[in-house]
Structure 1
Amino acid sequence: MSAVAQAPTTTLAKSTAVTQGLDFPTETRPHVELSVKDVQRSVVFYQALFNRPPVEVGEGFARFNPYNPAVDFVLREDSAATRRDGHMGIQLKTTADIARYKQRVEAKGFSAQLEEAETACCFSVANKAWIDDPDGNQWEIFVVTGEATSEIRCGPTCACEAGGCN
């Protein structure tokens, strides 16, 4: 009979003490880790997108902790990184906010691939700018200007129908 190696197990001790985690401005915040081909180039893009520098940079990685939107966002360098299916987005409150995002990103040499005004799509009407990161991952920067009770498709001139928001 051969012995089978088992992975060591870790058990968290039960405690009644409350452990305080890192402070951030919301009750929860998502954690996103994204593989990128060139972490230095991606840092330039995400610093402009989030309007703040990374909080940690190391060999082949960077971590951002923006407050608005509150997210723990990690970039990991991987030469095999590819564009992801679908897209990510940041919903804003005013169309003027979209212009500020675009200006920051364009100042770093990136550009909006498509802009949409009062576009009916995906259960809402919105103003949008679509910006690609260095690996081709799409970011939808948008303001919802109206709601719809059913899914509305916007047609071939918008990003969703052109293959952007799968």
Structure 2
Amino acid sequence: MSRIQLALNVDDVDAAVGFYSRLFGVEPAKRRPGYANFAVAEPPLKLVLLENPGQGGSLNHLGVEVADTDTVETEQSRLRAAGLSSADEREVTCCYASQDKFWVEGAPDGEQWEIYTVLADSPTYFGEQEEAASGAAACCAS
């Protein structure tokens, strides 16, 4: 299973959840303060809403969610062979989930793409060490 991830900055996560629940006909798969994600079956989409007041309506990042770490590694090798570099992140906590992922580098217009798999749910937005050192916005950025 693979699906495109679209992560949006929203001014008000509650209002955004209401809109996207009606648009896609599903409730969020995960809700936390300032955060929601939807696992939409049709079309296959992982929609992530990140509350960033003043940034609403803008793209946070793009991604491809894949089934497992082997697929993350296969995709990273494929992209490396195609001449794209990446920034590796393994066993990181981000967006209330433990993940293995990498960020594709060098998009011509600066888009941020991550290829990732979710290893487990997490009670915190990102790891406790990272939480003490920086803000949540740094989690979903290469």
With structure 2 as the length reference, what TM-score do the two structures score? 0.49
Bigger radius of gyration among the two: 1
Q: Which has the higher strand share?
A: 2
Q: Which has the higher helix share?
A: 2
